[in-house]
Structure 1
Amino acid sequence: MLHAADDLLVERGFTGLTIEGIAQRAGVAKQTIYRWWKSKVDILLDTLIDDAREALEWRTDDAASTEENLASHLRRVADFFDEPAGQVLQALLGQAQLDSETAASLREGFLKEQRERDVAGLRELLGRDDITVDDRTLDHLVDVLLGPLYYRVLVFGAPSDKELLDSTTRLVVALARESSSTSS
C-alpha cells in the first residue's frame, strides 16, 4: 500500500492521489486502508518515514575528510529530492502550507526526527576533526547546510548542482571551525 501511494503520487501528484486509487493499485479494499490510515496524508507520512530514514542517514567514510563526508551527505540529500520519497516530502510540505493538521503532523513527526538526526550527524562529523560548537551554533549550521538545498528544490523547483553543494560544504566547515576556535 505504501509503494502504491508513492507510485501514484509521482504519477498523478498530490491532488490526483486518492484512497480509492491507492486501494486499486495495491489490490486491496478501501476499508483495509482506512483500517490503518485515516487519510492520504497519513499514508504519505508513513511512506516518507519508511523511505527517508535510510536515504537521509548520515554516513562517514573513515578515509575521507570532514569536507568530503559532508559533501557526500549533501549529494545524498540532493539525490533524495529526485526519488519518489523526496517527491512525497515535497508534496507534504506543499500541503502543509494549506493545512495546519498536515503541517503539525509533518513537523512533530518526520521533520523533528530528521532534524535530530541532522544535528547529531553534523555534530559527530565535526567532532572527528575536534571541532566542537555549542548547541545553538550547531542548530544554525544545520540551517546553513540544508537551507540552500531546500530553497533550490522547493522555491525554484530546480536540482542542486555540484558547485552549490561544494560551496555550502566549505562554508559550513569554515563557520564551524571559526566558531570552535572562538569558543575555546
Structure 2
Amino acid sequence: MRLLASAGPGAVTPARVAAEAGVHRATAYRLWPDADKLLAEVMAETELPFLRDPVTPVRAWLRGCLRELADDLATPLSRSTTTTLMQTALHDARVATRRDALTDTLRARIDAAQNVAVAEGELVDRQDPDHLVAMLVGPLLYRTTLEAATVDDTLIDHLIDRAFPSPSTTGHKR
C-alpha cells in the first residue's frame, strides 16, 4: 500500500515489494508471479471503514462520515487506491468483484442510514439507495480524484440537503 501511495500502481511489483519487505525476490515472485496478480491482491484487501452503524440524528452522523470520507480520499494513499481500483477493475475480474463488493457495502450502509432517518422522522420518503450513493459519494470522488482538490464543509452540507431533505424543507410535518 505504501508503494501504491508513493509511486502509483506501476511501483507495485514483486521485486519492489520484496525490497520494501526485506525478503528475497524469489519469495515475492513465488507468491505473486506478476505485478498484475500482486496489484489485484492489494486491491482485494482494501477495506471500507466508512458509514458504519448510523446513529441519530442521521444528518449529523452523515455529515461526520462524509467529512471523514472526503478527508481520506484527499490523501495520496486513498486517491491511489481508489483510482487503481477503478482502473484495474476494468480488466481484472477479481478486482471488479472487489469493487462491486465495496459499492454494495456503500449502498447497504447508505440505505441503513436512510431507514433510520425515516424511522426517526428525519426523512419523509425513501429514495433509491443507488441514487443516494451517487449523490453523496460521487461528488466527493470527483472533487478529490479528478480535481485533486479538497472538499469543503459547504459542499458536504449541500449534498446532505439534496440527498436527505428534512421534513421541514419538504413541507411534511413530523
TM-score over 0.5 (shorter chain): yes
- In the other structure, the counterpart of 1:71 is 63
Percent identity between the two aligned chains: 20
Q: How many residues were matched structurally?
A: 167
- Report the Cα distance in structure 1 between the residues aligned to 2:46 and 2:17, rounded to whole angstroms: 16
Q: Which runs of 5+ in 1 are unaligned?
A: 1-5
Q: Name whichever structure is richer in helix by fraction.
A: 1
- In the other structure, the counterpart of 1:9 is 4
Residues 101-135 of structure 1, C-alpha deviation per residue, up to 9 Å, x if partnerless?
Answer: 3662333333323332332234334433353544x
TM-score (norm 2): 0.75
Residues 27-82 of structure 1, C-alpha deviation per residue, up to 9 Å, x if partnerless?
Answer: 332146339x9712322223312xx3x3x1335555xx332222111101101213
Given that 2:122 and 2:167 are in contact with CA atoms closer than 8 Å, whether structure 1 keeps it comes out as: no
- Report the Cα distance in structure 2 between the residues aligned to 1:66 and 1:175, rounded to whole angstroms: 10
- Higher relative CO (Cα under 8 Å, sequence separation at least 6) belongs to 2
**Offset of residue 87 of structure 1:** 3.0
Residues 74-95 of structure 1, C-alpha deviation per residue, up to 9 Å, x if partnerless?
Answer: 1011012134245312222133
TM-score (norm 1): 0.71
- In the other structure, the counterpart of 2:131 is 140
Q: Secondary structure at the match of 2:7?
A: helix
**Offset of residue 153 of structure 1:** 2.1
- Report the Cα distance in structure 2 between the residues aligned to 1:177 and 1:101, rounded to whole angstroms: 46
Q: Which runs of 5+ in 2 are unaligned?
A: none
Out of 118, 121, 140, the residue aligned to residue 113 of structure 2 is 121
